[in-house]
Structure formats: structure tokens, C-alpha cells
Structure 1
Amino acid sequence: MGELVSFEPDEEFDAPGRLTAQTAGTGERSLLEELQDLVLSTTDMQEFLNELAVLSARSVSGHEETVLCGITLLRRRRAATVAYNSETAKSMDELQYAFKEGPCLTAAKEQRTIVVEDFASESRWPEYSEAVSGYGLRSILSAPFTIGAGAHAAMNLYSYRPSSFRSEEVAFAESYARQASKGLQLALRMAHYSEEADNRSRAMESRTHIDVAVGIVMAQNRCSQDEAFAILQRASNARNVKLRVIAAEIAQRVSGALPATHFDG
């Protein structure tokens, strides 16, 4: 999985079902171990994010109630819910993207924690709050992840109870987000490297197909390499199909012993 991520423990918190003064050492170690195991056991970014959403909801809510979790990622001027533990959480996040404003977008962009005590009386995002209230949700806690330049993210925790997130829950969520940020950074970095490798692989494959197709056209038309490439380009333009697709079709016909099309330019 590449370099190991070391999570540094933050301060202790006293909240039911969470880190307490009496169990801080054991609790912190347990949380850190879960995060490290998550990084080491998942094979790609999507799997990591899905598991992170489940772990986030469970860790912050304890065993008191069901908390819905969505993870918002802002990258290349686009917002998306990249992971969630329920379809409702995803829908609530996506409502914000439709309105182009809301607590999780603010938390991610401004890198600060946002708490809505009760959507029924929330005035900062009135349209979004009214829409969310229609689903029976009453409060939200959005804590930002720190993932570096070029991207922003936030953990969004929804509750059906008003004033569900007390100061202890907020403090724990902020600590949790700081610790989980390191794993998220690694997952995004791995996804970037994987995407680059896939792009290089596709480029090499396309180049191979084009080279093979140029050779075939040269043999068929008894022409030079430049002339054969020009013939392929004209065929690409005439059919409004990418050159690599034309080349792949020619290579497939020959390798599959299918009748080869004679390109006469």
C-alpha cells in the first residue's frame, strides 16, 4: 500500500460512548488502530472511503442513535459525495450541491466546523434547511478534513434529533477528522498515481494500435509512413471517430483474421 501512515493522538474528550478521561489511552489506541487498519486493508480509494464513512458515523455517534454520514469532496471546482453510510445521507449532501450552498460545502471550503442545531430554525441556508427538514432530519455536524492543496473535504453527520451534537461530540469529531485526514490524503494520493498509471497505459496501448495500423495501411497502399498516417487521419475525420479507435479497429480486423478494409485515401 506504500508508505505507512502514523496517526498522532489528539487531546482527551469526555463523551458517552467515546473517548473519556478514564479510557482515553485505550480509546485513542483503538481509534488509531482502526484507522491504520482501514488504510492497510482496503485496496482502492472508493473502498477506503466507503469504510471511512461507516467508521466515522459509528465512532462519533457511539451506540446512542443512528447517525447518517456522507463525505463531501471538492476537487476541480466540482463537489461530490464520494462515500456515505446511507442513501439518505447522500441525498442530503446532493441537495447542497443543487442549492450551491450548505453546511458541508461551507465546512469543506472554509476548513471550519459547522453545526446546525435545528434545521427547523436555521437561517443561514433557509432553502436547504427547509428541504432537509422535509426528510425529518433536524441537525448536522460537518467537520473538515485537511487534505492539502487542490482539494477540500468534509465529514457530514446528520441526526433526526435537534441539538444532537453537543460540544463533546463536536470536539471528538474535529479530533477524529484530523486523524482520519492522513489516511484520506494517502488514499487520494494513491488514486492519483493509479489514474496516472492508467492514463499512461491507455496512451501506450493507443500508440501501439496506431503504429500497427500505420504499418497495415503502408502495406496495403504501398505508401510511406507519413502518407499512411494521413490516410488514417482522413478516415478519422470522415467518420468523426478518434484516430485511436480507427487504429484499434484495423488492428483487430487483422489480428482476428477478418477481411481487412482497403484504405485508398
Structure 2
Amino acid sequence: MGELVSFEPDEDFDAPGWEAGKPAVQEERSLLEKLQDLVLSTSDMQEFLNELAVLSARSVSGNGEDVLCGITLLRRRRAATVAYNSETAKSMDELQYAFKEGPCLTAASEQRTIVVDDFATENRWPEYSEVVSGHGLRSILSAPFTIGAGAHAAMNLYSYRPGSFRNEEVTFAESYARQASKGLQLALRMAHYSEEADNRSRAMESRTDIDVAVGIVMAQNRCSQAVAFEILQRASNTRNVKLRVIAAEIVQRVSGTAPATHFDG
């Protein structure tokens, strides 16, 4: 699994409405504990991201208003909204990808916080702002996640009120994003290892099918291993079907069952 990622609070970590380190409204668990629990309780990356979007909107919205949240991930020169707490947030994120510019993309790619007080008067991204404003959304706060080389991400918080994100919300969102980044790093790392394991497993299964099929062709044609493999390749090229599919069909036809794969994971 690699290096264990642990959560440690930032020294300046503070939330809207907190005084002298104590929240105005007492909660049973601190935000830090919630992030830790989120990592431990979710079974895969997608579940973690979905829950993170919900928690992000709830945590930053200190005044109780409905805040829409989308999480943008930039990887391999492609942008995607990997989690959201509403379809509207997802749609507004995806509009940016179509325009190829906007606050979320800027926050993620440049790793800096972006605030739009009112889309009705915003002139940095005029076309995008006009469309978002037409959907009734007025302000946004985009705070970057720090997730390491090769990928960038941002938390995008939309509000139907202009000027919804004041200095205290921005400060809290930035500290929150730093804390959540550690959980996001761990989730991405776990997803990467899981994907690698799946790829290895599929590769081993394909190899088993091909090896068994080669043996069947050798027995049927009384030929060498090289000749049997050439026969399979010709069949693959003639039918325009992958070699592993041809092999699996031969094994299935002869044995009636798929071959078992035995290897150490």
C-alpha cells in the first residue's frame, strides 16, 4: 500500500463561527475525525469521493444555506467531475470543460483559491459566467486539493446567493481542502493499486487461456508449440477477434468450462 497517510490538523485550522478554538455550535465529532472516518468507512474511491462532496458542502456552508459541491480532477490533460452532491453542480463543472476555462479549472491547474462573488458581474470568464448566472447560481468558491504530481483537483462550491463566500468561509475552505487532500491522496493511491491488481489478474487469465488453447491445437494437429500459436494468430486475424477471445472459445468448446488460473496475487 506504500506510505501510510495520516491526518494532522493545520495550526491555523479554524471554521466559520469558531471562537478561541471552540465552535459556536458544538458537534459530536471534529471535522478532522469525520475525514478520518470517511477514509476508513468507505470501500472504494468513488464512494469516498461522493461522501467527500457531501461533507465538503455541509462543512463549508456555515450559515446553513444549501451549497452545491463538485470535485474536479485534472489528470492526463483531461478534466472530469469525479464527485458531486447535486446534478446541477456536475453540470456547472462540465460547462467549464466545454468552454475550457473557468474558476474550477483555474483553481485546480494553478493550485490557488478562486472566488466569484457574483456571476452576473464576473468578467474573467464572461461566456461561462453568463451561462451559470442563467441557471440561477450567483457565486462560487473553488479551493485546490494538493494530491501530488501527475494530477490536480479542486473543490467547487456553488451558491444561489451573490457574495456567499466571505473571508472566513474562504479561510476555512482552504484549511479544509488541505486536510481533505490527505484523504484524497490515499483514495487515489488505493484506486491505483486496485487498478494495477485488476490488470495483472486479467493478464494472467488471458495468458492461461492462450497457453491452454495452444496445447489443444498442438494435440489436435500434432504440431509444435510455435506452429500451434501461428494457427491461433491466423484465426484471430481472419476473424478480426482478439487472440485471447479465440483462445477462450477453444478452451470452452473442448472442456465446457473456462480454465482456472493459479497464481499468487
User: Which TM-score applies when normalising by structure 1?
Assistant: 0.91
| Partner Cα separation in structure 1 for residue 77 and residue 121 of structure 2 | 30
| Partner Cα separation in structure 2 for residue 228 and residue 108 of structure 1 | 53
What is the CA-CA distance between 1:174 and the residue it aligns to? 0.2
User: Which residue of the partner structure matches residue 187 of structure 1?
Assistant: 187
Matched, 1:71 2:71: yes
Aligned CA distance change for structure 1 residues 177 and 14 (closer, same or farther; 3 Å):
closer
Matched, 1:130 2:130: yes
User: Which residue of the partner structure matches residue 7 of structure 2?
Assistant: 6
User: Which TM-score applies when normalising by structure 2?
Assistant: 0.91
Matched, 1:113 2:113: yes
| Secondary structure, aligned partner of 1:214 | helix
Deviations along 1:78-137, whole A, 9 cap, x unmatched? 100000000000000000001111100000000000000100111111111111111100
What is the CA-CA distance between 1:241 and the residue it aligns to? 1.1
User: Which residue of the partner structure matches residue 89 of structure 1?
Assistant: 89
Unaligned runs of 5+ in 2: 258-265
| Partner Cα separation in structure 2 for residue 4 and residue 179 of structure 1 | 11
Give me the CA root mean square deviation.
Answer: 1.9
| Secondary structure, aligned partner of 2:30 | helix
| Partner Cα separation in structure 2 for residue 144 and residue 137 of structure 1 | 21
Report the number of matched residues. Answer: 255
Does the 8 A contact of 1:13 with 1:21 survive in 2?
Answer: no
Output aligned runs, 1:24-63, within 5 Å. Answer: 30-63=30-63
| Partner Cα separation in structure 2 for residue 7 and residue 155 of structure 1 | 20
Does the 8 A contact of 1:39 with 1:48 survive in 2?
Answer: yes
| Secondary structure, aligned partner of 2:141 | strand
| Partner Cα separation in structure 2 for residue 10 and residue 67 of structure 1 | 26
- 2:16 maps to amino acid: A
Unaligned runs of 5+ in 1: 258-265
| Secondary structure, aligned partner of 1:163 | coil
| Partner Cα separation in structure 2 for residue 20 and residue 234 of structure 1 | 75
User: Which residue of the partner structure matches residue 22 of structure 2?
Assistant: 23
- 1:54 maps to amino acid: V
Higher relative contact order (CA 8 A, sep 6+): 2
User: Which residue of the partner structure matches residue 173 of structure 2?
Assistant: 173
Does the 8 A contact of 2:38 with 2:51 survive in 1?
Answer: yes
Does the 8 A contact of 1:102 with 1:125 survive in 2?
Answer: yes
| Partner Cα separation in structure 1 for residue 23 and residue 12 of structure 2 | 9
| Partner Cα separation in structure 2 for residue 24 and residue 135 of structure 1 | 34
Output aligned runs, 1:188-203, within 5 Å. Answer: 188-203=188-203
| Partner Cα separation in structure 2 for residue 14 and residue 236 of structure 1 | 62
User: Which residue of the partner structure matches residue 261 of structure 2?
Assistant: none
Aligned CA distance change for structure 1 residues 115 and 127 (closer, same or farther; 3 Å):
same
